[in-house]
Amino acid sequence: MKPFDQQNHYEVFDVPPDATPFEIRQAYKASLEIYGDDAMATYSFFSESERKKILCRLEGAFVTLMNQKSRAEYDQTLIGGGDLEEGARYKGVPRKPIPLFELKSSRGIKHVTSGPSRPQPLEPSVMPLVHELLAHQEITGNDLKKIRTELGVSLDRIAHETKVRTALLRSIEEDRFDDLPSRFHLRSFLKSYAQCLHLDPQAVAKKYMHRTQP
């Protein structure tokens, strides 16, 4: 792997050149979790000046890639240098997502690993467990784990889709509040988690964080 200071903007965020703005935003948020002011673990590996340099690099890459014009100009630079193929760049049309699952009449879930169809939203009528748990005023990490397990989605798969570390997702499911990030970041991670399971992200984040009120 290239040293951090030699990586291009896409490599910095570990996303493909045709990544959507949403994917880039999620990768940026995940990076802030690692190097941001609230990421205490980084102080064991980086000096304050190194951490600020990394954050500056991430901010510059994010600003460039989130602006359509500057991203197009940056891609042309990569193409000119032989670091990017013309056909691999983002065309402004979101790639069709790979569904984690599709509804099936028998048990409610059909596992798939690829396919062109857009994932179907969850219907509580075929998922009594989901309907029951989401009806509660509060949601625990174990509730989320039950839903994920019922859907047959691995924690590693969610980590891959959301760019949130598996260890952090496990802390969420185990209600280890002392290991969780700031409320701002936690809300974002919960929404991403919920979206992967086709749950209402706003409802899941609100019901889970209701228990973390200071």
Q: How far is CA 98 from the centre of its chain?
A: 14
pLDDT for the residue 124: 41
Alpha-carbon dihedral angle through residues 123, 125, 126, 127, given to the nearest 10 degrees: 80
What CATH class is the domain 101-212? mainly alpha
pLDDT for the residue 163: 84
Task: Give residue limits of the domains in the chain.
Answer: 4-88, 101-212
Task: Look at residue 111 and give its three-state secondary structure.
Answer: strand
**Residue 111 backbone phi and psi in degrees, to 5:** -80, 140
Q: Distance of CA 86 to CAs 15, 72, 77, 89, Å?
A: 17, 11, 11, 6
Helices (runs of H) and strands (runs of E) counted in the chain: 10, 2
pLDDT for the residue 184: 77
pLDDT for the residue 213: 63
pLDDT for the residue 39: 53
Task: Look at residue 110 and give its three-state secondary structure.
Answer: strand
- Fold matches, 4-88 and 101-212: no
CA within 13 Å, CB half, 213: 5
pLDDT for the residue 108: 35
214 residues of the chain, pLDDT tens digit each: 567 778 899 998 888 999 888 888 888 888 877 776 655 444 445 677 877 888 888 889 999 998 889 999 999 999 999 988 888 888 775 444 434 333 333 333 333 333 333 334 444 433 576 777 777 889 899 999 988 887 778 888 888 888 888 999 999 999 998 888 777 788 888 988 988 888 888 888 889 988 776 5
DSSP 114-145: --SSPPPPP-GGG-HHHHHHHTSS---HHHHH
Given CATH 1.10.760.10, say whether it is the number of domain 4-88: no
Please identify which residue in the block is written with the tokens 């910095």: 12
